[in-house]
C-alpha cells in the first residue's frame, strides 16, 4: 500500500485552520465585567423568596443576594433580577443544584454528556440575564456528614462530620460507604473526567461572560466512598485544575469552612490560600464560616466560635483588595425563625469588614 506523507502545504492548511478556530473562539469571548472595589456581602435567599425576605435583606444592610434554585430558565432568572432590582437589591449569583455535584460528570456515568449540555445551557441563561458569576462543585458522591443531632454553642443545631459515621448526601441521594459506586476510582480517572468537562464548558462561559468559581470538596478527605478528592481537595489540585481550564472565566469559590476542615492536608492554610488565589486574580467568592477543628471530626459553628481567627481572615481579604462576593454559609439554627442565625452572622461579618477597612486606611 502506498504511504501518503503530509506535505508542507498540508501542514500550512492545518495551521491555518487552527488559527482560524482560535480567532473565532477569541471573537466569541465576551470581556469579563470588571469587579468594582469592595467586598459584596451577600445574603442567601431560597428559590421562593418573599417580600419579608427582601425586607430582611435591606434591614440587615446587604446590597446583594444569592438565590438557590434547582433548574430554571432565562425567563425565570430575568424575572428574579427584575424583582430584586425593583426592591433596591442586586443579584450576586443564581445557583442551580441540578448541575452541581454531578456524579455523571465527575465519574463518567451514563448521562454525562446530557448533564454537560444542561450545564452549558444554564451558563447561557445566566449570561443572557446579565448575571456574571456562578459557583460550581465537582463532588462525585455528595457532601459528607454524620447523622443529624449535633449542636453547637447554646444548643443550636449544626452539621457535623465524624469520619466513622459519615455518609454522602446530595439533593435526594444518599451515598453509602464503603464504596458508593461499587468500586474504587483512580485519581487519573477523576482528572480525565474533569478535563473532559471543563474543556467543553470554558468556551460557553467565555461566550456568555460568566465567571465560574469552583467550590472545594466538602469535606476534603483524600478519599471518601472509593472516590478520590484529589482535584478540589487541596491547593495543588486547584492549581493544576486552573491550568487545565486555561481560562480567565474559571476561578475559585473559597469556602473557608471547607478549607479549614482540611487542615494541614490542604497544603496552605486559609489565609495563605486567599492570598495565593487573589494574586492569581482567581478569587471570586468567599463562604465566610468557621468550624471547630479539622478532619477527622468537626462541627460547623458560629462564625466567631471556631478554631480559625476570622478577624485575621477578614483583614487578609481587605489587604489583598478582594472585590468579589462574600456570604455567610451553613449557619447554625438559632432560636426564632430562619432569619435569626443569618442576622447574627451577617451582622458579625459587617462589623469585621468595617474594622478591617478602617485599620487598612489608617495603616
User: Does a structural domain hold residue 10?
Assistant: no
Are the CB atoms for 53 and 45 separated by under 8 Å? yes
CA 304/CA 248 separation, integer angstroms:
34
Q: What CATH number does the domain containing 147 carry? A: 3.20.20.150
Adjacent-strand bridge partners of 301 = 290
Residue 18 has a pLDDT of 39
Strand order in the sheet with 167-170: 143-145, 167-170, 173-175
Residue 363 has a pLDDT of 87
C-alpha cell at 252: 475559585
The structural domain count of the chain equals 1
What is the phi-psi region of residue 209: left when phi exceeds 0, alpha when psi lies from -120 to 50, beta otherwise?
left
- Tally Cβ neighbours within 10 Å of residue 182: 6
Q: What are residue 358's phi and psi, to 5 degrees?
A: -65, -45
CA 237/CA 216 separation, integer angstroms:
10
User: Does a structural domain hold residue 47?
Assistant: yes
Residue 29 has a pLDDT of 82
C-alpha cell at 214: 469552583
* Enclosing domain of residue 223: 33-362
User: Does a structural domain hold residue 23?
Assistant: no
For residue 363, give every residue at least 6 positions away whose Cβ sits within 8 Å of its Cβ, in sequence order, or none.
none
Q: What is the residue-level pLDDT of the chain in tens, covering all 363 positions? A: 333 334 445 434 534 443 444 445 455 788 898 999 999 999 999 999 999 999 999 999 999 999 999 998 999 999 999 999 999 999 999 999 999 999 999 999 999 999 999 999 999 999 999 999 999 999 999 999 999 889 999 999 999 999 999 999 999 999 999 999 999 999 999 999 999 999 999 999 999 999 999 999 999 999 999 999 999 999 999 999 999 999 999 999 999 999 999 999 999 999 999 999 999 999 999 999 999 999 999 999 999 999 999 999 999 999 999 999 999 999 999 999 999 999 999 999 999 999 999 999 998
Are the CB atoms for 65 and 91 separated by under 8 Å? yes
User: Does a structural domain hold residue 247?
Assistant: yes
What is the phi-psi region of residue 233: left when phi exceeds 0, alpha when psi lies from -120 to 50, beta otherwise?
alpha
User: Does a structural domain hold residue 267?
Assistant: yes
Are the CB atoms for 64 and 36 separated by under 8 Å? no
User: Does a structural domain hold residue 101?
Assistant: yes
Amino acid at each position: 500500500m502506498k504511504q501518503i506523507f503530509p506535505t508542507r502545504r498540508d501542514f500550512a492548511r492545518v495551521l491555518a485552520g487552527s488559527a482560524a478556530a482560535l480567532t473565532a473562539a477569541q471573537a466569541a469571548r465576551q470581556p469579563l465585567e470588571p469587579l468594582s472595589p469592595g467586598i459584596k456581602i451577600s445574603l442567601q435567599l431560597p428559590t421562593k423568596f418573599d417580600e419579608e425576605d427582601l425586607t430582611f435583606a435591606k434591614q440587615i444592610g446587604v446590597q446583594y443576594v444569592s438565590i438557590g434554585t434547582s433548574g430554571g430558565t432565562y425567563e425565570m432568572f430575568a424575572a428574579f433580577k427584575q424583582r430584586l432590582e425593583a426592591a433596591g437589591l442586586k443579584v450576586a449569583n443564581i445557583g442551580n443544584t441540578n448541575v452541581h455535584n454531578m456524579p455523571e460528570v465527575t465519574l463518567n456515568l451514563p448521562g454525562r454528556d446530557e448533564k454537560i449540555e444542561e450545564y452549558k445551557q444554564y451558563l447561557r441563561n445566566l449570561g443572557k440575564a446579565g448575571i456574571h458569576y456562578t459557583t460550581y462543585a465537582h463532588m462525585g458522591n455528595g457532601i459528607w456528614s454524620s447523622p443529624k443531632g449535633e449542636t453547637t454553642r447554646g444548643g443550636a443545631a449544626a452539621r457535623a462530620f465524624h469520619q466513622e459515621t459519615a455518609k454522602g448526601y446530595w439533593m435526594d441521594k444518599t451515598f453509602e460507604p464503603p464504596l458508593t459506586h461499587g468500586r474504587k476510582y483512580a485519581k487519573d480517572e477523576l482528572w480525565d473526567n474533569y478535563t473532559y468537562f471543563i474543556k467543553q464548558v470554558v468556551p460557553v462561559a467565555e461566550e456568555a461572560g460568566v465567571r465560574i468559581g469552583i467550590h472545594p470538596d466538602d469535606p476534603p478527605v483524600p478519599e471518601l466512598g472509593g472516590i478520590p478528592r484529589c482535584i478540589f481537595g487541596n491547593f495543588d489540585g486547584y492549581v493544576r485544575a486552573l491550568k487545565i481550564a486555561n481560562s480567565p472565566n474559571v476561578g475559585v469559590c473559597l469556602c473557608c469552612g471547607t478549607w479549614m476542615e482540611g487542615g494541614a492536608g490542604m497544603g496552605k492554610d486559609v489565609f495563605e490560600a486567599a492570598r495565593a488565589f487573589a494574586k492569581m486574580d482567581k478569587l471570586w467568592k468567599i463562604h465566610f464560616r468557621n468550624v471547630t477543628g479539622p478532619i477527622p471530626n468537626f462541627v460547623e459553628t458560629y462564625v466567631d466560635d471556631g478554631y480559625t481567627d476570622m478577624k485575621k481572615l477578614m483583614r487578609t481579604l481587605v489587604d489583598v483588595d478582594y472585590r468579589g462576593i462574600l456570604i455567610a454559609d451553613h449557619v447554625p439554627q438559632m432560636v426564632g425563625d430562619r432569619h435569626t442565625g443569618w442576622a447574627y452572622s451577617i451582622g458579625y461579618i459587617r462589623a469585621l469588614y468595617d474594622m478591617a477597612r478602617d485599620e487598612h486606611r489608617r495603616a
